[in-house]
Amino acid sequence: MRSTALKGAAAGAVVFIVAHALEVAAGIGGDQPWFIAALPSALFTAGCMFAAGAVLAAVSAGRFTDLYLLALSVAAGAAFPMAVTLFTHPRGPGNLFPIALIVGGGVLLIATAAGAMVGWWLRRSRSPD
């Protein structure tokens, strides 16, 4: 399970970095390059994390409880570049950065866990048990 957690964390970090780069390049969040500063960028990042959770859960073999650990590791992996993005923001993290980190981590975890549940359900519905 340790290698699965590390792979999940790496996948979460890559998904967040790519989603953030696309948001900045396309101007999805407007002039605020932070994913919970605007609804479109929050929805885009949450959608990317949902898709990552669904794909990883659909291709990984394991019990239902293992998928929650996978979702947690993917969200934790995405939380690290999220924090780096916040603290390297041109205007700084701001006074309410602990709240931003908690809300951002919650968005990442909920979206990833929901995607993992959908991926698990898709895998279970296709496998002949």
Q: Enter the tokens of residue 36.
A: 């919970």
Supply the pLDDT for residue 119.
92
Give CA–CA dist 20/15, Å, rounded: 8
> What whole-number percentage of the chain has pLDDT above 90?
50
Half-sphere exposure of 22 (CA within 13 A, CB side): 14
Q: Which runs of consecutive H residues, i.e. helices, occur in 1-129?
A: 2-26, 39-59, 64-87, 97-126
Supply the pLDDT for residue 129.
56
Question: pLDDT tens digit string along 60-85?
Answer: 867 878 888 999 999 999 999 999 98
Which candidate, 66, 72, 103, places its Cα nearest to that of 86?
A: 103
Please state the pTM of the whole predicted model. Answer: 0.90
Q: Enter the tokens of residue 103.
A: 């809300």
DSSP-derived 3-state class of residue 90: coil
Res. 27: pLDDT tops 70 = yes
